[in-house]
Amino acid sequence: MRSYLIANWKNSPASEREALEIIKGLKRVNVYRRLHTFVAPPFVYFGSVAKGIKGAASLASQNIFPGTGVHTGEVTIDILKSFGVKLAIIGHSERRALGETDKDVSKKIKTVLAAGIIPLVCVGEKDRDPDGEHFEFLRLQLRHSLEGVSKENSKKLIVAYEPVWAIGAKAKGAVKPKDLSQSVIYIRKILNDLFGREVADKIPVLYGGSVDASNCVELSETGIRGFLVGRASLEPKSFKAIAECLI
């Protein structure tokens, strides 16, 4: 079973020229073909990145707009599909911090499913609680985010566990492997309750939050099926090392 590796570039790099440099580094090695590798660049770089990654990775979107019709400033599903987008990151904590609710997330998931795009659904607690309260937060967030997703459609989901406190430059570092194993088991249990064992066991659960070349081996041995990578995905050498951890 091939693992998943998703590069979440967020709002970096600052120019298209730099974006193409990163892609050049990525194309120099062929390890990415042995994984399901996706690159999610800022929308404005879609044209050049889509062309540049051909043969090594697929294009992904960092967000989607769950509607059709006329909407100034939005990028609709039809536009994403015209660029060949295969996967959409939905419910990333940085979008939730801008006001995205579980209800919005559930609507977006259904929109991408209808369009034949894979939804990568992000969930994760803001803080870890020594008494395990964060598990209940995780349960409700996942339940509400997946509201209305049918058992049939749940087979197309990917879930990314991304504890908010482990993400980005101000993070406390990645989650500890032991804690990650526990969260993965718990997420599987919730998916189990929602969709039944047969389907739930097959839904890939990924991890994201301060993944880098130094921690990817131990994090990969926790029952996860891949990584969602922010900062380290902008450095071809680190991204390659992370890919190798998953092979």
Footprint on this chain of ligand PGA (rule: CB under 6 A) = 8, 162, 167-168, 171, 208-211, 228-232
Contact indicator for 173, 166 with CB cutoff of 8 Å: yes
Q: Residue 206 forms beta bridges with which residues?
A: 160
Give the residue with the Cβ less far from ligand PGA, 87 or 200: 87
Question: How does DSSP assign 46-107, residue by residue?
Answer: HHHHHHHHTTT-EEEES------S--TT---HHHHHHTT--EEEES-HHHHTTT--HHHHHH
Question: How does DSSP assign 90-110, residue by residue?
Answer: ES-HHHHTTT--HHHHHHHHH
Q: Which residue is nearest to ligand PGA (CB)?
A: 230
Give the residue with the Cβ less far from ligand PGA, 128 or 231: 231
The active-site residue, picked from 94, 125, 134, 162, is 162
Q: How far apart are CA 106 and CA 91, in angstroms?
A: 9
Query: Whole-number minimum distance, CB 221 to ligand PGA, in Å?
Result: 19
Is residue 36 part of the annotated active site? The answer reads: no
Query: Whole-number minimum distance, CB 160 to ligand PGA, in Å?
Result: 7
Is residue 218 part of the annotated active site? The answer reads: no
The active-site residue, picked from 92, 94, 125, 134, is 92
Query: Whole-number minimum distance, CB 104 to ligand PGA, in Å?
Result: 18
Residues identified as active-site: 92, 162
